[in-house]
Structure 1
Amino acid sequence: MSSSQKPAGYDIDLGNECSRNAYAWSKKTFANRAGKPGEAAQDLDGGFANEIRFGNARLGISSDGIGTKIEVAERVGKFDTLGYDLVAMTADDLIVGGFVPTNLSNIIDVNTLDYEVIDEMMRGLHDACNFAEVAITGGEIAELGNRIGGWPGAKMNFNWCSTAIGSLHPSLERPLSGAGVKPGQAVVALRSPSFRSNGFSLARRTLQNLFGDNWHSAPYDGLDATPHGSAGHTWGEVLLAPSLIYSPGVARVLDAGLPLHAAAHITGGGIADNFKRVLKNGVGAELTNLFEPLPAMQKLTELAGITPADAYLYWNMGNGMLLVTDEAQAEAVAAHLQAQGYEAQVAGRITAEPGIRLKVGAGELSYA
């Protein structure tokens, strides 16, 4: 196990290997719908969404959950922001393939029901879907007793997952797989104002070791702490900050006729693991103007005693999505996103040499 795998208590490489194996079994079922409604595409290997075809209609489908961020909500006792995380994990996986999210189905597995918690969760999901212009068209609540665990002090322990579908943007002839990425193209980064919904195992373990069982109540004194900032005044509030949903902004970039050749949703595995999924044809990337890590991420890196290289594998480090566009249009893409309220900037370029190289405040980092 490498040093990048030990701090969080899980093995990134093993997770990728299991995912590849699971997808290999899944692909063995594609023949069941070959030439029929629901036929699966074969050219989106490595992503978290896939294309299914119904005649001329080309749809994308993606499934995901919130993960262990749920425990933060249980500890803080606030549940109306988790819907943004749930929508972001699936909607943003769709839009990076060029699919505009349209519908979402969700399932809540609980140990025992609490009406107020469910109401708060669904109100937040309603708000998030309104932001993403998505309709909630399916769902289930399942009571599973002691099969579901979590923080003992919570009103209700639960797990929350969703599946979303979307339609291929009409400006695209095929999904954004990265097949058209070439050296000399530009990379635009969108800032993430939170941890989103990844890397919480490492964050929780670090804070538990430092502050004990009630780490969520420990004061947070980062540069962005309230009242002068928006992060929160406890570590629990900082980690609970909701995910920003990028899909509406990226869809409007396509609406404007601006070119996109690939996109990457920066989740678990960070920039290196997620961006390399769309860097095909042997190309690489040099990113010299990324957004700075959030103060809380910088602080957790120091508290966890991990290297910057590992931090950029576990957390988004302030960059939630990367878009590949033509160099001549990069500033226009960034400006279009900024006009919609997103923080976006040209972050680097595609190189003929493979590998991802980051030039950040902590130094120069390289990933094969």
Structure 2
Amino acid sequence: MAEQYEKAGVSLEAGYESVRRIRSHVDRTRIRGAQDSIGAFGGLFDLSCYGMKEPVLVSGTDGVGTKLLIAFAMDKHDTIGIDAVAMCVNDVLVQGARPLFFLDYIAVGKNHPEVIEQIVKGVADGCVDAQCALIGGETAEMPDMYDVHHYDVAGFCVGAADKKDIRTGEHIADGDVLIGLPSTGVHSNGFSLVRKVLFKDAKLDPHQKMEELDGRELGEVLLTPTRIYVRPVLKVLEEIDVHGMSHITGGGFFENIPRMLKDGQGVRIEKDSFPRPEIFDVIAKYGSIDEEEMYNVFNMGIGFIMAVKPEDAARTQQILADMGETSYVIGEVTESGKVEIE
């Protein structure tokens, strides 16, 4: 029925097969409020069941960036969707909002249903971890835009919080303690630099096993999914008056931490207060990158930061420990007006 469309490089049948394959993954992300809207023109979500007096919607959107090129090189596609979800839900979480639903957008050069299923499996895994529903999405086959084995993944998340619970950073005070939650590695930022340093300049093979990485393949380590911080942070918010939060993404410490501060405030970070994943030492070594630039690009081992009153620091860490979460006191808010790494 669509012979000319097939000749143009777009397979409707492959699209239908992709939808059939992903249905089970979508179903396992169902949460309270999510409506069965897969296949409809819009995704539906009933916010009224959360009983918020003054609900405020908080949204975030992002992609995975050139980390995708590592996935292509490794022919591994089942975790990249976790990154897409993580980059969005962690941003929404910073404002104190509970992520509610996610929609993805996958653009491909050629629709390979088995690859689409792997990507969406990752998206669903991320949504389950973030306790939000995958309520819709779009797959676009664009044969003249992408190579037949390449694709792009992006998405957006919508969360909600009562107006009184929104975190704006207005209560952050000098002397507040910074509680850091560890990252799983590079996450999904700085991969243009990573690829230049490790693959273009140093000519390393993503499949090679490296002693510096405990014998693991370089590409495997780089593909470690971005950590999702929703469960532990929401648990802390139930009990602790967290003054401000920061998701350490592109721009590292120097760009992201000031986003939660008031004018004139700064932070002092003790770099030896938390472990640094070995992959950052590998990047710095092969790229001859100085420490300041590393902290200006990467998360360096801390993916999420909460600012709390000094008297709340111990209780915050106990709440996290009770959930099996590791945390570190990494510094404090100051009057310096800048980020100081000591």
Is 2:313 the partner of 1:330?
yes
RMSD: 1.7
- Residue 363 of structure 1: aligned partner: none
Q: CA deviation at 1:118?
A: 0.7
Deviates more, 1:283-292 or 1:298-307: 283-292
- Residue 28 of structure 1: aligned partner: none
Q: Is the 8 A contact 1:331 1:346 kept in 2?
A: no
Q: CA deviation at 1:177?
A: 1.6
SS of equivalent to 1:89: helix
Q: 2: distance between equivalents of 1:355 and 1:248?
A: 30
Stretches of 4+ aligned residues off by more than 4 angstroms: none
Q: Indicate the percent of aligned positions where both proteins have the same amino acid.
A: 29
TM-score by length of 1: 0.75
Q: 1: distance between equivalents of 2:179 and 2:300?
A: 15
Q: Is the 8 A contact 1:117 1:156 kept in 2?
A: no
The counterpart of 1:71, out of the listed 66, 69, 72, is 69
The counterpart of 1:299, out of the listed 270, 274, 282, is 282
The equivalences for 1:190-205 within 5 A come to 190-205=181-196
Q: Is the 8 A contact 2:186 2:279 kept in 1?
A: no
TM-score by length of 2: 0.81
- Residue 220 of structure 1: aligned partner: 210
- Residue 333 of structure 2: aligned partner: 350
- Structure number with the higher helix fraction is 2
Q: 2: distance between equivalents of 1:115 and 1:234?
A: 27
The counterpart of 1:163, out of the listed 156, 163, 171, is 156
Q: CA deviation at 1:195?
A: 0.8
- Residue 110 of structure 1: aligned partner: 108
Aligned length: 290
Q: 2: distance between equivalents of 1:285 and 1:55?
A: 35
The equivalences for 1:1-368 within 5 A come to 56-149=54-147, 156-168=149-161, 170=162, 173-212=164-203, 215-222=205-212, 224-226=213-215, 233-255=216-238, 257-288=239-270, 290-359=273-342
Q: Is the 8 A contact 1:192 1:316 kept in 2?
A: yes
Q: 2: distance between equivalents of 1:201 and 1:115?
A: 28
Q: 2: distance between equivalents of 1:334 and 1:64?
A: 30
Q: CA deviation at 1:174?
A: 4.7
Q: Is the 8 A contact 1:270 1:314 kept in 2?
A: yes
Render the CA deviation track for 1:327-362: whole Å, top value 9, x for unaligned: 101121122123223221111111122111112xxx
Q: 1: distance between equivalents of 2:146 and 2:98?
A: 33
Q: 1: distance between equivalents of 2:178 and 2:288?
A: 30
Q: Which residue identity does 1:196 align to in structure 2?
A: H
Q: 1: distance between equivalents of 2:197 and 2:208?
A: 12
Q: Which residue identity does 2:335 align to in structure 1?
A: A
SS of equivalent to 1:145: coil
Q: 1: distance between equivalents of 2:297 and 2:189?
A: 7
Q: Is the 8 A contact 1:191 1:342 kept in 2?
A: no
SS of equivalent to 2:71: helix
Q: CA deviation at 1:82?
A: 1.2
Q: Is the 8 A contact 1:208 1:215 kept in 2?
A: yes
Q: Which residue identity does 2:152 align to in structure 1?
A: N
Contiguous gaps of at least 5 residues in structure 1: 1-53, 150-154, 227-232, 360-368
SS of equivalent to 2:168: coil
Q: CA deviation at 1:84?
A: 1.6
Q: Which residue identity does 2:205 align to in structure 1?
A: W
Q: 2: distance between equivalents of 1:262 and 1:291?
A: 20
SS of equivalent to 1:219: coil
SS of equivalent to 1:292: coil
Larger Rg: 1 or 2?
2
Q: 2: distance between equivalents of 1:70 and 1:291?
A: 28
SS of equivalent to 1:286: strand
Q: Is the 8 A contact 1:335 1:344 kept in 2?
A: no
Q: Is the 8 A contact 1:189 1:290 kept in 2?
A: no
Q: Is the 8 A contact 2:208 2:217 kept in 1?
A: yes
Render the CA deviation track for 1:302-348: whole Å, top value 9, x for unaligned: 11011000011111100101110111011211221232232211111
Q: CA deviation at 1:211?
A: 4.7
Q: 1: distance between equivalents of 2:226 and 2:207?
A: 21
Contiguous gaps of at least 5 residues in structure 2: 1-51
Q: 2: distance between equivalents of 1:292 and 1:299?
A: 15
Q: Is the 8 A contact 2:248 2:302 kept in 1?
A: yes
Q: 2: distance between equivalents of 1:55 and 1:162?
A: 28
